[in-house]
Structure 1
Amino acid sequence: MKSKPNLAEYLKKHWLLVGIFNCIFLASLFPSLGVKEGPLRPEYTVKYGAVSIIFFISGLSLKTDSIYYTLRQHRLHLFIQGFTFVFIPIFIQLLIVALNILGVDAWIIKGLITVACMPPPVSSAVILTKAAQGNETAAIFNSIVGSFLGIIVTPLLLLFNLGFTTVVPLLGTVVQLSVTVLFPLLLGQSLRKFTEFRGHNLPLNGVSQCALLFVIYTTFCDTFHNPDTGLYATDILVTMILVLLIQMFLLLLSFSFAKSLKYFTPADVVCAMFCSTHKSLTLGIPILRIMFHGLSHLSQISLPLLVYHPTQMILGGLLVSNLKDWVNSRRIKKPPV
């Protein structure tokens, strides 16, 4: 009979989740440290530091044959991008019918529509997939593809769902993605291919997850630094409950649907679940500021995305350990492509 794990073993197994809650607690105590233009300068250290480190380590750890295999996983890519850009917007539009009946603020509803049109982020989904021993290579590929698609698809979705759109800074977005994602990824892959350096005894996975924790800390610093949003407490509470329920439903649905498809391995299912349900704050906030600049309702519109971003990381942290155990218990050969 196995003995129950003690507290130290539990904390070691769930250290990422513990780290997430510690980051939230520290951000509530010292929000001014991690805000934009604060002492930690997240506009540089996060955008060009933490994110670049995450993708450099990913490039260094990815095997070339896994990259070739991933490029041929057309059904997985189609599932993720279709769920992100097609299913979620349709689902939110159907949900809005019920929300209108319940009398939810119309501007918060517009914020939910905007969230539904956003592309996936380039860091959190990758790290959570890797932490849960999912298909990291596919997560990287779909995060990058989804971000580039978002430059074109997101404005079109907003035009269709809201009746107007915005101009996404195309050149600036492409340059930023290239500098912070593609270049570090290619640099890590080049080091792996042309040298014998593999990180050796360095805890690369731990470093990646620490970089994600830094992103989470600075995200919550922004949240706690600006508590006066001009919203009623009921608006904030309703938004938090809605976003939480929406994310839980989407995570469960994507997991169940992907698991039911016989050509997806458990690692693919984990990748599909995180990459298809996460939404980008990095691209979303600039779009919102451009679209609704000068409107008194900007706070209501921005609130769903501001809540969605940290919630997806908290829920992901809660699920990582169980998903990792599930993947390890369901190890099977890769299905034919």
Structure 2
Amino acid sequence: MKFLARYGIDTYMLLLILTVCLGAVLPVSGVAADVLSTITYCAVALLFFLYGVRLNSSEVIEGMTNWRLQGASFAATFVFLPVLGILIATILSPVLGEPLTIGILFLSILPSTINSSIAFTGMAGGNVSGAICSASMSNLIGVVLTPALAALVLHQGGVSISADAVVKIATQILLPFVLGQILRRWLAPFVLRHKPLTLFVDRGSILLIVYSAFSAGTVAGIWGAIPPLTLVILFAVILGYLVITMRGVILLGRLTLRNERDRAALFFCGSTKSLASGLPIALALFPAEMVSTTVLPLMMYHLTQLFICAVISQRMAARSRAA
């Protein structure tokens, strides 16, 4: 275990790997998938309720008014990543083919992931209140901006998005967080005395998301829809895209932000892409027969980012404790 720990692989990372394998080997479908979706939904809501209980209101207000962090996060999500995605898709279109090229373009214009980016920020000792505001605003804006960018970048016509996505963000993320803030006066002493509870919810929610994502991909059959060599090439492209993205976001943080807590929040919010938001938007934008291949780059990016962010968050936390 000590050998693995040198490379950021601890018990949590091993659980993450086992969860991926479980989703690939024993996926759930039908009623079981619906039950898993409900459990995951509740776990995420509990995660943000506990964040609301833990955070001082002054920290929340500071997060909303931190225009440097919010501006940098918006620029990373909706300017830097789309431009980089367009460049990569243009160069590699002859190799990947049209469906996967469209998938990379679609990936590039999605909003940030909410729950995992905030959980990783918390685990890394970053600015959680700023991350909550940044990730939530990214998804609220993304509901409108992503279809608009898709219409521009992908030349799609008649794009429309249901208000359900906005309602879900409000009920699953913002409402529990506000409720936690309201009840903080009475619950904070208990929650702060039982920190393993919040750690369990943080990591447990991420494991649920990973299992749900891999399980859904396996059931949909997207792993067998493309030749193995093309999958290998696509994974290399996605990994390169993610590495360049993370390097770019780190540089952006150094240029625009003044402290490490804000830079950690920017890193996890600005370099990640949301599978939870991306799948419904893909279903709304593309014909049914295109969806499986279109979301494959997103699936690869999302799952790869979880592994890399898990390792980086552990190392950031260790640095923070040592400082």
Question: What's the TM-score, normalizing by structure 2?
Answer: 0.90
Name the residue aligned to 1:111.
103
Name the residue aligned to 1:81.
74
SS of 1:169's partner is coil
What one-letter code is carried by the residue in structure 1 that aligns with 2:13?
L
1:12 and 1:254 map into 2 onto residues whose CA distance is 21
What are structure 2's unaligned runs of at least 5 residues? none
Cα 1:215/1:36, change in 2 over 3 Å? farther
Structure 1 residue aligned with 2:162, among 161, 169, 176?
A: 169
Cα 1:195/1:213, change in 2 over 3 Å? closer
1:98 and 1:41 map into 2 onto residues whose CA distance is 42
What one-letter code is carried by the residue in structure 1 that aligns with 2:10?
H
Name the residue aligned to 1:281.
275
What are structure 1's unaligned runs of at least 5 residues? 332-337
Contact 1:105 1:235 in 2 (8 A): no
Q: What is the correspondence of 1:249-264 to structure 2 with a 5 Å cutoff?
A: 249-261=244-256, 263-264=257-258
Name the residue aligned to 2:124.
132
Tell me the CA shift for residue 72 of structure 1: 2.2
Contact 2:128 2:265 in 1 (8 A): yes
Structure 1 residue aligned with 2:313, among 320, 323, 332?
A: 320
Name the residue aligned to 1:223.
217
2:246 and 2:182 map into 1 onto residues whose CA distance is 35
Tell me the CA shift for residue 227 of structure 1: 3.6
Contact 2:147 2:285 in 1 (8 A): no
Contact 2:53 2:187 in 1 (8 A): no
Tell me the CA shift for residue 320 of structure 1: 1.5
Structure 2 residue aligned with 1:187, among 167, 179, 194?
A: 179
Name the residue aligned to 2:88.
95
Cα 1:257/1:62, change in 2 over 3 Å? same
Cα 1:237/1:8, change in 2 over 3 Å? closer
Contact 1:79 1:272 in 2 (8 A): yes
Tell me the CA shift for residue 13 of structure 1: 8.1
Name the residue aligned to 1:265.
259
SS of 1:167's partner is coil
Structure 1 residue aligned with 2:15, among 16, 19, 26?
A: 19
Tell me the CA shift for residue 232 of structure 1: 1.8
Cα 1:76/1:221, change in 2 over 3 Å? same
1:63 and 1:280 map into 2 onto residues whose CA distance is 27
Tell me the CA shift for residue 138 of structure 1: 0.8
Tell me the CA shift for residue 300 of structure 1: 2.2
Tell me the CA shift for residue 196 of structure 1: 5.4
Question: What's the TM-score, normalizing by structure 1?
Answer: 0.87
Name the residue aligned to 1:50.
43
Name the residue aligned to 1:71.
64
Q: Which has the higher helix share?
A: 2
Tell me the CA shift for residue 207 of structure 1: 2.2
Cα 1:207/1:315, change in 2 over 3 Å? same
SS of 2:304's partner is helix
Tell me the CA shift for residue 23 of structure 1: 1.0
Contact 1:61 1:198 in 2 (8 A): no
Q: After alignment, is 306-315 or 6-15 more displaced? A: 6-15
Tell me the CA shift for residue 238 of structure 1: 1.9
Cα 1:131/1:77, change in 2 over 3 Å? same
Name the residue aligned to 1:178.
170
Contact 1:158 1:164 in 2 (8 A): yes
What one-letter code is carried by the residue in structure 1 that aligns with 2:14?
V
2:34 and 2:147 map into 1 onto residues whose CA distance is 32
1:111 and 1:196 map into 2 onto residues whose CA distance is 44
Alignment deviations for residues 192-232 of structure 1 (CA, whole Å, 9 cap, x no partner): 13555441325222222112211212211222334454222
Runs of 4+ in 1 over 6 A off after TM superposition: 7-13
Matched, 1:61 2:54: yes
SS of 1:37's partner is helix
1:112 and 1:233 map into 2 onto residues whose CA distance is 18
1:137 and 1:196 map into 2 onto residues whose CA distance is 16
Structure 2 residue aligned with 1:239, among 234, 238, 242?
A: 234
Tell me the CA shift for residue 46 of structure 1: 1.4
Q: After alignment, is 268-277 or 282-291 more displaced? A: 282-291
Contact 2:62 2:130 in 1 (8 A): no
Instruction: Decide which structure has the larger Cα Rg and report it.
Output: 1
Structure 1 residue aligned with 2:35, among 41, 45, 65?
A: 41
What one-letter code is carried by the residue in structure 1 that aligns with 2:267?
M
Cα 1:145/1:234, change in 2 over 3 Å? same
Identity, % of aligned positions: 20
1:19 and 1:88 map into 2 onto residues whose CA distance is 30
Alignment deviations for residues 153-194 of structure 1 (CA, whole Å, 9 cap, x no partner): 111111110111521102x12221111111110111111135
